[in-house]
């Protein structure tokens, strides 16, 4: 039975991949702008697959000019990459409740193994030369750690969210809260916005859903659309469970108009 199951799985993968033959990319660049702890890894993986499927280059952070061909996919995963002035560019931009961004980043930075966070760096000008960002967070209680986070990495992300030009008609605005649980539908919507035909966009989205099921769902025994998040539980409204009145007061003092400006309450 196991051999039959594996054969059927391979046969289905072959069938899904066959639908991708002949898919074509429109004659324009596409760009996705996101932020740290705002589905940056999910969209990077999505765009890597798109780059491979459509046969066009993916350029990450700061490579906004066309080179080596007429088309490219551009990714700014820290919200600070230059946006092309070309009117034909089609883009997407995603934001998240800034309070959840802070909570998620704080929990992530306590456990990540990313070198910039784990090793002392000159960029951490307010820390001793031998102390890393992570070491400093781990030395603080949760309240002080969240407040430190909102004044540093997360604060920079929120500032970039607030400075974004939301009136740019070339960009489709997305919200983290609306994408969670609707990743496949979002991918199809994004590709259609970029100019990919509806049929091709649907085929690519369904193929990526199948890959996610094979590589995530089968291993973890769950629905792959239910993304894993550090700390467990829902990634939406996490701030309510770990933020105190003091943390929220510090947030309001630093970003007094952020919630209404970004459409949150």
In the chain, where the domains are located: 2-95+181-220, 98-161+228-262
Q: Residue 197 in 3-state DSSP?
A: coil
pLDDT digits (tens, 9 = 90+) for 216-238: 334 434 433 334 444 455 789 99
pLDDT in the model for residue 177: 96
Model confidence at 259: pLDDT above 80: yes
pLDDT in the model for residue 213: 59
Place of tokens 């002035």: 85
Average pLDDT, the chain: 86
pLDDT digits (tens, 9 = 90+) for 173-214: 999 999 999 999 999 999 999 999 999 999 999 888 877 755
Please give the Cα distance from 9 to 23 (Å, whole number): 23
5-19, 71-85, 125-139, 247-261: range with lowest mean pLDDT = 5-19
pLDDT in the model for residue 224: 38
pLDDT in the model for residue 229: 42
Task: Give whole-number Cα distances, 182 to 177, 187, 226, in Å.
Answer: 10, 9, 9
Place of tokens 């596409």: 30
The single-letter DSSP state of residue 55 is T
pLDDT in the model for residue 4: 41
Rounded to a whole number of angstroms, the CA Rg of the chain reads: 20
Task: Give whole-number Cα distances, 67 to 4, 48, 57, 111, in Å.
Answer: 47, 18, 9, 38
Query: Which H or E run contains 74?
Result: strand 73-76
Please give the Cα distance from 116 to 120 (Å, whole number): 8
pLDDT in the model for residue 36: 95
| pLDDT over 90, % of the chain | 71
pLDDT digits (tens, 9 = 90+) for 111-126: 999 999 999 998 889 9
Please give the Cα distance from 74 to 85 (Å, whole number): 13
> For residue 55, what are its two tokens?
């046969």
């Amino acid at each position: 039975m196991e051999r039959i199951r594996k054969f059927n799985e391979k046969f289905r993968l072959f069938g899904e991949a066959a639908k991708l033959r002949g898919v074509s990319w429109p004659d324009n660049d596409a760009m996705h702008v996101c932020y740290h702890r705002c589905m940056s890894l999910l969209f990077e993986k999505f765009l890597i697959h798109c780059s491979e499927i459509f046969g066009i280059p993916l350029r990450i952070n700061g490579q906004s000019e066309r080179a080596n061909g007429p088309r490219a996919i551009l990714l700014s995963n820290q919200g600070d990459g230059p946006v092309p002035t070309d009117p034909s560019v089609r883009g997407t931009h995603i934001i998240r409740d800034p309070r959840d961004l802070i909570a998620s980043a704080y929990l992530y930075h306590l456990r990540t193994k990313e070198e910039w966070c784990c090793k002392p760096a000159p960029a951490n000008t307010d820390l001793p030369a031998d102390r890393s960002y992570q070491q400093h967070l781990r030395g603080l209680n949760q309240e002080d750690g969240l407040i430190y986070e909102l004044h540093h990495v997360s604060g920079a992300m929120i500032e970039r969210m607030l400075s974004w030009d939301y009136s740019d008609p070339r960009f489709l605005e997305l919200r983290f809260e609306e994408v969670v649980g609707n990743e496949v539908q979002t991918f199809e919507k994004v590709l259609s916005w970029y100019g990919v035909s509806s049929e091709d966009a649907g085929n690519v989205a369904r193929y990526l859903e199948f890959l996610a099921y094979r590589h995530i769902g089968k291993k973890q025994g769950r629905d792959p659309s239910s993304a894993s998040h550090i700390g467990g539980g829902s990634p939406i409204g996490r701030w309510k469970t770990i933020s105190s009145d003091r943390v929220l007061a510090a947030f309001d003092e630093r970003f007094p108009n952020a919630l209404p400006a970004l459409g949150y309450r």
